[in-house]
Structure 1
């Protein structure tokens, strides 16, 4: 699921076929020290089983 949010004061018109972003994946040379879901990270979406409403990152 991808969520878009306009935090500006002006509307943004999205039209069919308009490019709105990009994503990039990089190969890691070593394993991460604390993967997503590690207790020290306070991950917000670990364990979800479907689309999940947004959760504030700054409660």
Structure 2
């Protein structure tokens, strides 16, 4: 004889496994590593500093 299983539990177990598999696919597709997020923040800060450094100040009317 085979093992006796509860079909509701089997369905729930299968559904959990399907959700876990889909979550793994989504993490690979959309997720970024911590290093990638930090690199993006550093790059944005570098761009902001570069832009601020290239800003030309308007001449003061007092020095004319």
Q: Same fold (TM over 0.5)?
A: no
More helix by share: 2
- Which bracket does the TM-score occupy, shorter chain normalised? under 0.3
Question: For the pair shown, which has the larger CA radius of gyration, 1 or 2?
Answer: 2
For normalisation by structure 2, the TM-score amounts to 0.17
For normalisation by structure 1, the TM-score amounts to 0.18
